[in-house]
Amino acid sequence: MTAACTIPTQPASPRGRWSLLLAPVLVVCSLLALIASPSVARAQLNILPEEAKGLEITEHLGQRIPLDLEFVDDTGQTVKLGQYFNQGPKPVILALVYFRCPLLCPLMLRKISDSINRLDLNLGEKYNLVLVSFDPTEGTDVAAVQKAGMLAGYDRPHSDATAPGLAVLTGHPLSARALADAVGFPYKFLPKSGEYSHGTVIFVLTPDGTISRYLYGVDYPVETLRMALLEASDGKIGTTLDRFIMWCFHYDPSAGGYVVQAMRVMQIGAVLCSIAVLGVLGGMVAIERRRRAALREAALRVMTQQQPPPQPPDKPTP
């Protein structure tokens, strides 16, 4: 009789069964972690469509734009860009767009209009707005319609300075390209679609044409835009409170807006503490002076009461 040799088996323990069930889950999680790793994420972000390649905006903060560039305004007159600058302390908001754009530019212009409507600084009086088309096919008629629409949508009190404060410029593609290069704003024509590929950003410039701030995207919060204009004007178009607020805030590119400076807060706290200490010391000195004065008066009264009454002079004896 032949004995069969068998390997004894034991039922899997609960721990072993859980290990078998968790193994596929761990594999999937490992793959997800690999995909979500920074290097892989950067690689994924670098995969851009051909139309968007080479359109990264290069900031030229602190550089002046060429103010002698010539364009055509909404009336058909040839004008120089410089005539919208150097008008006292007024900064300038600049946007490079093309008006037949199917999506981004109309959205940008609508957001700009919404923001300046809620801004407590009057267009044309405190700042200028310059819109420049880089599409050579857009002419005076397009500029006139665009300017009329922008002014019609401006619901703040109008003044004689409002219309000149808004410039819609077209024509001269070489000038548009030179201006775009000066502010680091690339764009390119797409022959297949007949459209332009470009970024979304507006520029805030100082009164003399120096680039002060880049505001990215298609949403321009009123407080951010207001602070950018105050910064570009060096605080000359706002109130004393505005200048104090500017002193406490600085622009944080990572946050896309103005944030409180910790050092400024510490300085303000130190000043307030010093004022409080001086106030307390001054009050203590005043109280001590009043106390000493009261003591002197009391001592004078006591001395007056203790003095004998004056005696009449002695009569001479006969």
Judge if pTM exceeds 0.85: no
Indicate if the pLDDT at residue 97 is higher than 50. yes
In a domain, 132, yes or no: yes
Strand partners, 260: 249
User: Confidence band (pLDDT; 50, 70, 90) for 160?
Assistant: confident
Residue 225 lies in a domain: yes
- Is 282 contained in some domain? no
Closest to 226 in 3D by CA, of 67, 136, 117, 96: 117
Query: DSSP state, 50?
Result: G
Average pLDDT over residues 88-94: 96
Residue 222 lies in a domain: yes
How many of the other CB atoms lie within 10 Å of CB of 72? Answer: 20
Q: What are phi and psi of 258, to 5 degrees?
A: -95, 135
Residue 39 within any structural domain of the chain: no
Q: Is residue 175 part of a domain?
A: yes
Per-residue pLDDT band at 98 (split at 50, 70, 90): very high
Residues 6+ apart with CB under 8 A from 72: 78, 79, 139, 140, 143, 169, 170, 171, 172
Q: Which two tokens stand for residue 188?
A: 């390119």
Q: Give me the domain span that covers residue 206.
A: 70-238
Coil, helix or strand for 7?
Answer: coil
CB atoms within 10 A of CB 275: 10
| Helix axes of 104-118 and 222-232: crossing angle, nearest 10 degrees | 80
Q: Which has more pLDDT, 42 or 127?
A: 127
Res 236 pLDDT > 60: yes
Q: Is residue 96 part of a domain?
A: yes
Query: How confident is residue 301, by pLDDT bands cut at 50, 70 and 90?
Result: confident
Which of these, 214, 4, 248, 190, lies nearest to 95 by C-alpha position?
A: 214
What's the number of domains the chain is made of?
1
Question: Is 107 domain-assigned?
Answer: yes
CATH code of the domain in which 85 resides: 3.40.30.10
What confidence score (pLDDT) does residue 295 get?
78
